[in-house]
């Protein structure tokens, strides 16, 4: 008789395309988001937290590179036969909130939101299926003054977290201008907006990939299509050579000054009404930003910015970091985009049937954190807690009291809760935790009402660098009165 097979143990691994975040990463992210939230708060924006789950119908089909509502999202059918999905961004849930609570919210409604989003896409190096976003949006303001304010606020947020002026640029364009160019190119019919919609979607996504595909790669996608390095073929928009040249001319319209760029765009849109409207809006945004002191060293007009999402209807913007880093092969390259957004006046209308103007920006949290690490703004060696070691098992209450005293003084501290039999293991644990200080009190120290303070950071430094004479003159362990424990620990921490 065959033996029963024991149940297979689950594999201890994260699902493909997902990752875990540990102590320092979580702490760094929170510190960065707190700084961004301070900027948003100063601009009068309120926080909002929405459900991680939305109906597929509410999310809509706005993900780049997908055509069906439930493609590109993690979706499932619940017991009521409704299709639900994890949110793929923080904007679609905002549209639902703005419609659901339209009678209760102020108008305009200014909100910021921070949290994870999920996309059921093919993962790759640095590309995960769950990632953090940080958004700020204004709903109910038709004026492009709201767009200029978002751009200024984005600039301030980047500088607040540690990206200095000169290491970033916020690039601004207008989808209406691109629509005017596509009208001139013959792929947009103002009387029938749905005509050529598929082709326009491919054009948008192709231009949005300019930094990754190069000019020739974009040109191929405007035509019949292109084959990537792996041999996969992506079908193009099917534009003729002349049509493609009109679009390529739009991408190359940037000039030395904003005024010259706007003038060139006015030439490209010709008699297109919507194109001319977009050019005028860009002029207004540039004037508003200039009046606030946001010049071309921070914010510029750039026609190559289109944003891949299909719901943008007017101004679009993108924050690009301009400093160089080394890639995995040691080659120099610019860091690239860390934030983007734009105006989406029709998104709330899907729920209410009434036009509701809206504009906003989303910061890629993981990418911005990676940029700050590359600049040395975060990722410095962080200290763990002070560790109170356990010398006598029956005196655990005394050790807990020491930790409590340190905590009430604002010092991070913990009692060693592993097996205290081997004292060396306690110090190894403290080293693993990057603890700056260990507190030691055995029975003899308790009788004399003293503690031993072990400066672990100094001890490591002396062991690595100092001579025997220096080691003797700089003891890394000292004895202090029990009542002076907090002051002694604080002095070590402040020293550094």
Taking only the tens place, the pLDDT of each residue in 136-189 is 999 999 999 999 999 999 999 999 999 999 999 999 999 999 888 888 888 877
CATH class of domain segment(s) 386-495? alpha beta
**Lookup: tokens for 52:** 């991680």
* Separation of CA 211 from chain center: 19
Beta strands in 433-476 (DSSP E): 437-440, 450-455
Q: Which position has the higher pLDDT, 382 or 264?
A: 264
Instruction: Please give the Cα distance from 453 to 483 (Å, whole number).
Output: 13
Q: For residue 472, what pLDDT is reported?
A: 44
CB contact at 8 A, 316 and 173:
yes
Residue 459 confidence class, pLDDT cut points 50, 70, 90: low
Q: Do 158 and 141 touch, CB atoms closer than 8 A? A: no
CATH topology of 16-142+345-382 equal to that of 165-306?
yes
Q: What is the dihedral sign for C-alpha 168, 157, 130, 310?
A: negative
Residue 467 has pLDDT above 70, yes or no: no
The structure tokens listed for 146 are 């709201």
- Secondary structure of residue 259 in the 3-state scheme: helix
Q: Can the peptide bond before residue 6 be classed as cis, meaning omega within 30 degrees of 0?
A: no
Fold exhibited by the domain 16-142+345-382: BirA Bifunctional Protein; domain 2 (3.30.930)
Lowest mean pLDDT among 190-199, 412-421, 479-488: 190-199
Decide yes or no: CATH 3.30.930.10 for domain 165-306: yes
For the whole model, what pTM was predicted? Answer: 0.81
pLDDT tens per residue, range 79-123: 887 889 999 999 999 999 999 999 999 999 999 999 999 998 888
Domain ranges of the chain: 16-142+345-382, 165-306, 386-495
Contacting residues for 9 by C-beta, under 8 A, at least 6 apart = none
Q: Which two tokens stand for residue 10?
A: 């689950």
Side-chain-side CA neighbours of residue 179 (13 Å): 24
Strand partners, 114: 134
State both tokens at 290: 């200039």
Q: In terms of DSSP bridges, do strands 109-118 and 46-47 run parallel, antiparallel, or are they unpaired?
A: parallel
């Amino acid at each position: 008789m065959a033996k029963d097979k024991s149940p297979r143990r689950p594999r201890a691994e994260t699902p493909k395309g997902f990752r875990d975040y540990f102590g320092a990463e979580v702490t760094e992210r929170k510190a960065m988001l707190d700084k961004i939230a301070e900027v948003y708060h100063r601009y009068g924006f309120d926080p909002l937290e929405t459900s991680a789950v939305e109906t597929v119908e509410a999310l809509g089909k706005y993900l780049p590179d997908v055509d069906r509502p439930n493609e590109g999202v993690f979706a499932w059918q619940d017991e009521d036969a409704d299709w639900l999905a994890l949110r793929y961004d923080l904007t679609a849930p905002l549209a639902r909130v703005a419609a659901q609570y339209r009678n209760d919210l102020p108008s305009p409604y200014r909100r910021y939101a921070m949290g994870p989003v999920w996309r059921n896409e093919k993962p790759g190096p640095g590309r995960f299926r769950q990632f953090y976003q940080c958004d700020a949006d204004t709903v109910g303001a038709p004026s492009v003054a709201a767009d200029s304010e978002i751009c200024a606020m984005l600039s301030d947020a980047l500088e607040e977290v540690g990206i200095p002026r000169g290491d970033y640029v916020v690039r601004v364009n207008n989808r209406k201008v691109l629509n005017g160019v596509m009208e001139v190119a013959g792929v947009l019919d103002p009387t029938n907006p749905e005509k050529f919609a598929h082709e326009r979607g491919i054009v948008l996504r192709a231009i949005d990939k300019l930094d990754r595909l190069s000019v020739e790669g974009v040109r191929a996608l405007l035509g019949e299509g292109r084959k990537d390095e792996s041999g996969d073929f992506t079908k193009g928009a099917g534009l003729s050579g002349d049509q493609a040249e009109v679009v390529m001319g739009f991408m190359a319209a940037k000039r030395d000054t904003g005024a010259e760029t706007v003038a060139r765009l006015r030439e490209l849109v010709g008699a297109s009404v919507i194109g001319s409207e977009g050019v005028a809006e860009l002029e207004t945004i540039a004037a508003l930003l200039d009046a606030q002191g946001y010049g071309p060293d921070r914010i510029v007009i750039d026609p190559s910015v289109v944003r891949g999402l299909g719901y943008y209807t007017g101004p679009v913007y993108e924050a690009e970091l301009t400093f160089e880093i080394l890639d995995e092969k040691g080659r120099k390259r610019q860091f690239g985009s860390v934030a983007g957004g734009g105006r989406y006046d029709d998104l709330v209308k899907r729920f209410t049937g009434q036009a509701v103007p809206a504009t906003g920006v989303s910061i890629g949290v993981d990418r911005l954190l990676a940029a700050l690490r590359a600049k040395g703004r975060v990722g410095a060696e962080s200290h763990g807690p002070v560790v109170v070691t356990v010398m006598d098992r029956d005196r655990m209450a005394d050790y807990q009291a020491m930790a409590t005293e340190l905590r009430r003084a604002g010092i991070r501290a913990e009692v060693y809760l592993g097996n205290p039999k081997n004292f060396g293991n306690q110090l190894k644990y403290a080293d693993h935790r990057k603890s700056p200080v260990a507190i030691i009190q055995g029975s003899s120290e308790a009788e004399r009402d003293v503690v031993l303070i072990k400066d672990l950071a100094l001890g490591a430094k002396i062991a690595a660098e100092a001579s025997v004479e220096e080691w003797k003159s700089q003891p890394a362990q000292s004895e202090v009165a029990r009542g002076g424990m907090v002051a002694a620990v604080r002095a070590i921490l402040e020293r550094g």
